[in-house]
A and B are shown apart, each in its own frame.
Chain A
């Protein structure tokens, strides 16, 4: 078991945002976290990544997260933020190399150490050719890929993603999700991902955790969780009908004839 959360609760400013969430993430698994805005998905993700203090117990590769050293945590778990930026003119390669921070031997070790992982990450994300470009000159999708390469260079067991498809067009979205799908199939890896798009969750998830008002409304395979009635309760709308409406077969000219 790579990541294990039991009875996790998070309060912010005296208000319970996340209440009693338990789940476990197995090797090779892709767990999607879905739910309406304000359901507490991102807050839960922050707690799981160790940024927010929480009640309950979180174990990363069997060890308690709360008392883990920051470098030990970063070797086991990486997070791709929803928004990334750079105020200084760092190049893609410099950003990706920072992913090796937790694994460096000493502060004065050559920055070339761990080059192999960096190269792999650049290749996997298709950023080799842009390696010397400045982050600030890239498009939103390219920035996202550069930071994905950074997380992959970290070589974590558990990859956390916070709405990675946001701000991305269809090409980037498809590339991103397919890439992560390939990445997690290697031994010792698992993915936990917050998404808004139920269709994406259905396509890529092994299991889905549906959240509503800070609580787990359902946890199971896509077929189990994405039932029309349940979604209607949580989202207060008919998701199936809406998606059907949205993605109805295109009226092509051939069909019209």
Chain B
């Protein structure tokens, strides 16, 4: 029976996704430079669950290094792919993503700047970098969109990506500049361009989780609106979507999520591009399915990418962004080709 390509993300979908997520999670927790047997892992989980102090080297590695890292990687993956999916719908552009639009670089610059200047927002000691990353993510988005709009009112696929990439290079240059002046106060340039979650903590996981829940609730309530935008903004207006409010809500939410991700894990490219694209091929373009699926898919994809980065050239560890960019560059070309082909299709006059 051909799969119906519309409707909600029903319970069977959720169960299947949760199962895949769990399998991936266990795999990523067990495998690594030190392989930990599944039995030990489960034993440690049991101990942690009952509040016991785990004993033994494996348990310590698991508890203090691997577990927070895998959790953070999964959450960042969910956030980024949710953002990518929402932006693609909003901008009617299958190539939109935090990295291709330059939002991640903008957020990175914001974070680097706040670190270099030693800025502290009173009462927000820990979160200053994060707030700056969010703020700059939003400013970058607004800047890129208004530039694209000024150049080409239709916000066509190509011009917006072109501006995004140019902005991205500009922001990277600013990051390099800032880092070369700021010296050792800031993490290496690789962190900000390729990302890393190797030193992730439980606190960071908690922050990511809270942001993700907040962001998902907002974006998942906008599924119909995103569908309407994906058809056309003008059409969305006429069926009664409050265009300006929805657009602003999505942009702010996306900026918040990307800001949090970047300040914790650096800029990890292409996750938001690859995952929604693969899922769209599988489930169709309807956001009632696509957004929840992106949550699961993003987590699974990034956990696996991180696993590859850790194990492929062990003991050397590849930055997570290297792995995603390798996949992402290929995916970008494929999607671009697909988009070009269908742009000439019948019934697609815009």
Binding site for B on A (CB under 8 A): 49, 51, 69-75, 78-79, 81, 83-91, 93-95, 98-99, 101-102, 104, 107-108, 110-111, 135-140, 142-143, 147, 150-151, 154, 167
> Cβ of B347 and Cβ of A87 under 8 Å apart?
no
Q: Give the shortest distance, in Å, between B234 (CB) and chain A (any CB).
A: 6
| Contact, CB under 8 Å: B280 / A88 | yes
For A140, the chain B residues whose CB sits under 8 A away are 346-347, 349
State the majority secondary structure of interface residues on B. Answer: loop
Chain A residue with Cβ nearest B349: A83
A107 touches which of B223, B231, B242, B286 (Cβ 8 Å): B223
Q: Are B238 and A89 in contact (CB under 8 A)?
A: no
Q: Is B237 an interface residue (CB 8 A)?
A: yes
Determine the residue in chain B with the shortest Cβ distance to A138: B347
Give chain B interface residues in 1-36, CB to chain A under 8 Å: 5-8
17 contacts between A and B (CB under 8 A): A69-B242, A70-B243, A74-B239, A78-B239, A83-B349, A87-B93, A87-B350, A89-B284, A90-B227, A90-B286, A93-B6, A98-B239, A111-B7, A111-B288, A138-B346, A154-B240, A167-B349
Hey, which chain B residues are within 8 Å of A81, CB to CB?
Answer: 232, 234-235, 238
CB proximity of B248 to chain A, nearest CB, Å = 14
Other than the given A78-B238, A98-B224, A138-B347, 12 more pairs (CB < 8 A) read A81-B238, A83-B349, A83-B350, A86-B347, A86-B348, A87-B342, A88-B92, A90-B230, A90-B231, A101-B224, A136-B348, A167-B349
Task: Name B211-246 residues within 8 Å CB distance of A.
Answer: 220-225, 227-228, 230-232, 234-235, 237-243
Closest 8 CB pairs of A and B: A74-B240, A102-B240, A88-B285, A143-B347, A85-B350, A107-B221, A71-B240, A83-B349
What B residues does A101 contact at CB under 8 A? Answer: 224-225, 228, 239-241
B122 to chain A, nearest CB (A): 37
- A111 to B284 Cα, complex, angstroms: 15
> How far in angstroms is the closest Cβ of chain B from A101?
5
Inter-chain contacts of B235 with A (CB < 8 A)? 81, 84, 98, 147, 150
Contact call A108/B221, Cβ cutoff below 8 A: yes
Do B230 and A85 touch (CB < 8 A)? no
Contact of B345 with A by CB under 8 A = yes
Nearest Cβ distance between residue A42 and chain B, in whole angstroms? 13
Pick from B8, B238, B286: contact of A79, CB below 8 A: B238
Query: Which of B221, B242, B347 is most buried by chain A, counting CB atoms within 10 A of its CB?
Result: B347
Shortest CB distance B141–A (Å): 20
Partner of B231, one of A69, A71, A98: A98
Is A85's CB under 8 angstroms from B348's CB? yes
Tell me whether A90 and B347 are in contact (CB under 8 A).
Answer: no
Closest-CB distance, A39 to chain B (whole angstroms): 22
User: Min CB distance, A119 to chain B, in Å?
Assistant: 15
Closest Cβ neighbor of A154 among chain B residues: B239
B98 part of interface (Cβ distance < 8 Å): no
Which among B225, B240, B345 is the interface contact of A136 at CB below 8 angstroms? Answer: B345
For the complex, give the distance between the alpha carbons of A96 and B139 in Å.
36
- Residue of A69, A90, A143, A147 touching B285 (CB-CB under 8 A): A90
Q: Is the CB of B228 within 8 A of A98?
A: yes
A36 CB to closest chain B CB, in angstroms? 23
Q: How far is the CB of B280 from chain A (nearest CB, A)?
A: 7
- Which A residues lie within 8 Å of B221 (CB)? 107-108
B133 to chain A, nearest CB (A): 28
Taken together as a complex, chains A and B put the C-alpha atoms of A40 and B8 apart, in Å, by 43
Q: Specify the chain B residue showing the minimal Cβ separation from A150.
A: B239
**Nearest CB to that of B93 among chain A residues?**
A87
Bound-state CA distance A72–B94 (Å) is 31
Q: Which of A71, A74, A85, A99 contacts B347 (CB 8 A)?
A: A85
Q: Would A136 and B342 count as touching, CB distance under 8 A? A: yes
Complex contacts, B232 vs chain A, CB 8 Å: 81, 84-86
Contact A87 B284 (CB under 8 A): no
CB distance from A65 to the nearest CB of B (A): 13
Q: Are A70 and B230 in contact (CB under 8 A)?
A: no
